[in-house]
Structures are given as C-alpha cells and as structure tokens.
Amino acid sequence: MLRDNIRVETTDDMVYRRDVSVHQDEKQLTDLYGRSYMGLCGIGIYLAVSLIAFHFREQSLAEVLPPDLMHKLGVVPPVFMAVGLMWVSTLSALTVIIGRLYNKTPPSGTASHVAFRIGFFLLFFVIGGLAQYINEIFISGLVVLTLQHYNVYDYYMLKIEKKLIIIQN
C-alpha cells in the first residue's frame, strides 16, 4: 500500500498534532454521545408536561377565562376535529420516523415532535376535551417520542461506531 511506503519521522510538532487530533476526536465522540440522548430528553420533557396536563384535565379554557372574553374569541372547534387532527399527525409522524429509520437518514428534530405532542394537550384544553382524551393524547405522544428517541439513538450510535473505526485505523 501507499501508506506502507511512506517513511514517518517523529518530531515534536507531529506529536503535538497527534495529541490535538486525539483531543478533537474525543470531543467529537462526546458531542455524538450527547446528541444520541436528545430523544430521551424529549421524552422527559413530555412526561413532565403530561403530569401537568393530567392535573388540569378536568378544566378547560372556557372555565378559566371570563365569558365575555370567550365570546370575543369565538366558537371553539368540535372535539372530533381535534381527535382527527391528532391521529393524522400521529400517523404522519410515525411514517416519517420509520422512513428515516429504514433509510438511515439523519433524524428530524426532537423539539418539533415534543412541541406537537404538547400542542395537543393545549388544543384539547382549549376545546374542553382533555378529560375525555388524556389517555389517547398521552399514549400517542409517548409512542411517537419513543420511536423518535430510538431513531436519534440509532443514528448517532452508528456515527459513533464509524468514528471509532476511523480512529482505530
């Protein structure tokens, strides 16, 4: 091979460059490990918000705001529209995540998935159906965020394995 024909002379400058390179590799690996657990952070945030939503499940925005302000805001949409929106959103999120897993492409942002799932708690709080659908909202969000975490973890672990193979060679 071409590498075998190259003569290596060690100097202080080369040792310094090698030390800097090792430090950069360690920093990149640490960064990749941190990114691999971002999905788990999203699940933690979602669980905390779920506890808050569960506490306020018997209330709605109509009960919290004065009647004249609710009249100015207008009519709230029916619950079946929010349920339909939730299931369409859940199925599309699962489709996107499974597609990214299958094709080994970079995962989408966990923050957007968490925001959408928390948004459903807020939507059902506004329309007054949180008490009826708290379990469905929680389970659908937990399934999406768990699969998202697996997607993020799997993607970054593959990158870490590749980086370790490069470092060892």
Number of independent structural domains in the chain: 1
Nearest alpha carbon to residue 93 among 33, 42, 135: 42
Q: What average pLDDT does the segment 96-124 reach?
A: 92
pLDDT number for residue 138: 96
Q: Write out the residue range of the structural domain in which residue 35 sits.
A: 2-168
pLDDT at 21 over 90: no
User: CA–CA separation, 25 vs 23, rounded Å?
Assistant: 5
pLDDT number for residue 65: 82
